[in-house]
Amino acid sequence: MDSTVQLQWITRQHPFYPAELALRYIVLRAPLKMPRGSEVYAFEEETWHCVAHINNEVVGCVLLHPQNTNKSGKLLQMAVHPDHQGRGIGAQLVRGLEAHALNNNITSIVMNAREVAFPFYEKLGYVFASDFFEEVGIPHRTMTKQLRHDP
C-alpha cells in the first residue's frame, strides 16, 4: 500500500510546508500539550526539510540541519502520521536523509532522540552518545551515526 510513498525535499515556500508543520505539531507537540508554534525550529530557514507523501498528502517528515563544520548534520522533528506508522515510512525518511547528507558532504548525523524512539534508531545503526537528559519535558538521549569516514 505504501509503495506509493514519495520523498521530496522542500523549502518553506513549498505547498507541502504547511502540512509538514501541522504534522510536526500533531505528532510531536500536541501529545505533550505544547502550544501551536512550538513545532517551529529556531533555524527553520537554514534547515533542510524532507516530506513523505502519498497522493500529495504529507504522511511523514524529517529535518536535517547542517552543523557548523558542515561535516555533521542534526536530524530533528522526525514524524510519521499515526495512521501510517509501522509501515517503513520512518526508515525510508531516515535513509533519504542520510543519502541527502552524503550528497552534501555531511558524513555524520547527530540527534536528540526520545526514549520511545531508541529501538527504531538503533535498528538503523545509530548509537548512544549521551546519558539521559530532558528536552521538551521528556527523556532524551543523543544518538549519532557515522555515514562514512573521511579519507
pLDDT tens-digit profile, the chain (151 residues): 445 999 999 999 999 999 999 999 999 999 999 999 999 998 999 999 999 999 999 999 999 999 977 689 999 999 999 999 999 999 999 999 999 999 999 999 999 999 999 999 999 999 999 999 999 999 999 999 999 755 5
How confident is the model at residue 2, as a pLDDT?
Answer: 46
Distance CA 67, CA 47 (A): 10
CATH of the domain at 83: 3.40.630.30
Distance CA(57)–CA(64), nearest Å, equals 21
Grid cell of 14 as nine digits: 513549498
Instruction: Note the pLDDT of residue 144.
Output: 97
Range of the domain at 39: 2-107
- Specify if 125 maps to a domain: no
Residue 11: inside a domain: yes
Total number of domains constituting the chain: 1
Residue 135 lies in a domain: no
What local confidence, expressed as pLDDT, does residue 12 receive?
94
pLDDT of 1 reads 43
Q: Which of 52, 59, 45, 39 is nearest to 95 (CA)?
A: 52
Q: What is the pLDDT of residue 150?
A: 55
Residue 14 inside a domain? The answer is yes
pTM over 0.75: yes
Residue 139 counted as domain residue: no
Cα–Cα dist 132/112, whole Å: 10
Kind plus residue range of the DSSP H or E element containing 24: helix 17-24
| Cα distance between residue 64 and residue 97, in whole Å | 7
Q: How far apart are the first and last CA of the chain?
A: 41
User: What is the greatest pairwise CA distance in the chain?
Assistant: 46
Looking at residue 86, what is its pLDDT? 94
Q: Are 63 and 50 in contact (CB under 8 A)?
A: yes
